[in-house]
Amino acid sequence: MTTLDTPVAVEPTTAAEILSRARDAAVLLRERSVEIEAARRLPPDVVALLRSTGVFRMVRPKSLGGPELNPMEQTEVVEALATGDVSAGWCAMIGMDTPIYANFLEGEARDALLREPDAVTAGLILPVGRADRVPGGFQVTGRWPFGSGITHADWVVAGCFVFQDGEMEPGPTGAPMHWRIMIVPRDEVEVLEDSWDTTGLAGSGSYTYTMTDHFVPTERAFRLDEPKQTGPQATPDAILRNSAGVPLGVARAALDFVRGLAADRVYHPTETPWPEAYHVQMAIAEAEMDLGAARSYLYGGLAREWEKALAGEGLSLDERAEAVLARVNAFRAARRVVSRLYDLIATTAIYKPSPMDRWLRDVNTMCQHVMAQDQVVQSAGAHLLGGTPHNPFIVGIIP
């Protein structure tokens, strides 16, 4: 095992510094990927390395001394980390949302989240728990899966349906149910550490966690359509914008790996060196084309979305759908790229020393995430046509 020495504790203050540290960290993360996967969580020194890059403070407001990176800069950092280890990139993408959640809180609750610049938040915001109204807050009970990074988190979010007097409470927008997100210190949840043994993203520590009749004060319960602060990061989709950095990173890592193999490989049926083999040339070129198109679609859409956010303008119907589809496309393009490269290197890919096996499992697993499933594409299409989205949150509709 290689022990990671974290850099001198000089706080990064710019996007360029954080990206540079992320790229340096990726080299070290690559050396630890096998161990990370076997452990089913990020080891403490890997977490320390991630903290030292500044990834968890990326959107901390400049008014509090933070770098406040825009979504394009955030995505680049996540992408860089994912080229080193996909689970680490995934945990970085999830964990850096603390300042975003703070935009939906006020007073002491907000101050508590922002007290530590590199605080990590984990958890599932979708409403699979129950929150019963009681004086001063909610009595919360539930079991939430997919708590990526919860083993090193400072805060945990948990989505709940709200009940009052034993009955499901209607939402403030007229929906038949009321969805709120609870945020609590990590030590207030029970983590079931035998609940994450998966095909891919195994090192993300995405354990299930529970609360039973746990009191959460009103000030730590929020809705994503009720920001308490102003600004372009105080929007429901702010926590989604940089997510596609992970699949783009794994596709880039796979392409670089296979291109590196090409110099010493020969296509044995014809004894043709790989750099001269037509099928290899086509596979590499088409993979680069697919990844490049997906990356341009994503970053172009992020830039247009950010420009409108800075101007305080809402997205048009087409622009909201574009943001959703560009994210899904990045996940699916990455899966196509990795799958094609896996097939290209043939039986070599199946042996554990090759990272291709892990990357294929990782990219297939992340494509099962709710933000990359068919229901998301359907929801964007329904949004464009005036129909009913199966996943209204993904297109900015909060029930």
Instruction: Convert the pLDDT of each residue in 50-64 to its tens digit.
Output: 999 999 999 999 999
pLDDT at 9 over 80: no
**Among 121, 335, 319, which Cα is nearest to 248's?**
335
Q: What range defines the domain where residue 252 resides?
A: 244-395
Instruction: Convert the pLDDT of each residue in 153-175 to its tens digit.
Output: 999 999 999 999 999 999 998 88
The reported pLDDT for the residue numbered 174 is 87
Domain check: are 268 and 328 in the same one?
Answer: yes
pLDDT at 39 over 90: yes
Domain check: are 286 and 390 in the same one?
Answer: yes
Cα–Cα dist 334/319, whole Å: 23
3-state secondary structure labels for all residues of the chain: CCCCCCCCCCCCCCHHHHHHHHHHHHHHHHHHHHHHHHHCCCCHHHHHHHHHHCHHHCCCCHHHCCCCCCHHHHHHHHHHHHHHCHHHHHHHHHHCCHHHHHCCCCHHHHHHHHCCCCCCEEEEEEEEEEEEEECCEEEEEEEEEEECCHHHCCEEEEEEEEEECCEECCCCCCCCCCEEEEEEEHHHCEEECCCCCCCCCHHHCCEEEEEEEEEEEHHHEECCCCCCCCCCCCCHHHHCCCCCHHHHHHHHHHHHHHHHHHCCCEECCCCEEHHHCHHHHHHHHHHHHHHHHHHHHHHHHHHHHHHHHHCCCCCCHHHHHHHHHHHHHHHHHHHHHHHHHHHHCHHHHHCCCCHHHHHHHHHHHHCCCHHHCHHHHHHHHHHHHCCCCCCHHHHCCCC
Structure confidence at residue 4 as a pLDDT band (50, 70, 90): low
pLDDT at 350 over 60: yes
Structure confidence at residue 3 as a pLDDT band (50, 70, 90): low
Q: Find all residues with CB under 8 Å of 371, minimum gap 6, and list them.
A: 240, 243, 327, 328, 331, 394
Domain check: are 250 and 383 in the same one?
Answer: yes
Mean pLDDT, the chain, integer: 95
**Among 80, 219, 82, 90, which Cα is nearest to 152's?**
90
Using the Cα atoms of residue 241, residue 242, residue 246 and residue 247 in order, give the sign of their dihedral: positive
**Count of structural domains, the chain:** 3
The reported pLDDT for the residue numbered 1 is 47
Looking at the domain assignment, is residue 239 inside a domain? no
Cross-strand partners of 50: none
Domain check: are 255 and 374 in the same one?
Answer: yes
pLDDT at 97 over 80: yes
The reported pLDDT for the residue numbered 356 is 96
pTM of the model: 0.95
CATH number of the domain residue 207 falls in: 2.40.110.10
Q: Is 316 exposed, middle or buried (0-12, 13-18, 19+ CB in 10 A)?
A: exposed
**Residues 149, 123: contact at Cβ < 8 Å?**
no
Domain-ending residue, one of 102, 132, 164? 102
Least confident of 75-84, 146-155, 342-351, 361-370: 342-351
Instruction: Convert the pLDDT of each residue in 314-331 to its tens digit.
Output: 889 899 999 999 999 999
**Among 155, 128, 131, which Cα is nearest to 144's?**
128
* Angstrom distances, CA of residue 77 to CA of 212, 264, 345: 37, 31, 29
The reported pLDDT for the residue numbered 387 is 95
Q: Find all residues with CB under 8 Å of 18, minimum gap 6, and list them.
A: 12, 53, 54, 55, 58, 67, 69, 73, 77
The reported pLDDT for the residue numbered 164 is 97
**Residues 170, 177: contact at Cβ < 8 Å?**
yes
**Residues 359, 287: contact at Cβ < 8 Å?**
no
Looking at the domain assignment, is residue 233 inside a domain? no
Domain check: are 93 and 42 in the same one?
Answer: yes
The reported pLDDT for the residue numbered 7 is 47
pLDDT at 121 over 80: yes
Looking at the domain assignment, is residue 8 inside a domain? no
Structure confidence at residue 129 as a pLDDT band (50, 70, 90): very high
Instruction: Convert the pLDDT of each residue in 235-273 to its tens digit.
Output: 999 999 999 999 999 999 999 999 999 999 999 899 999
CATH number of the domain residue 61 falls in: 1.10.540.10
Domain check: are 74 and 146 in the same one?
Answer: no
CATH number of the domain residue 345 falls in: 1.20.140.10
Q: Is 270 exposed, middle or buried (0-12, 13-18, 19+ CB in 10 A)?
A: exposed
The separation between the first and the last C-alpha atoms of the chain, rounded to the nearest angstrom, is 48
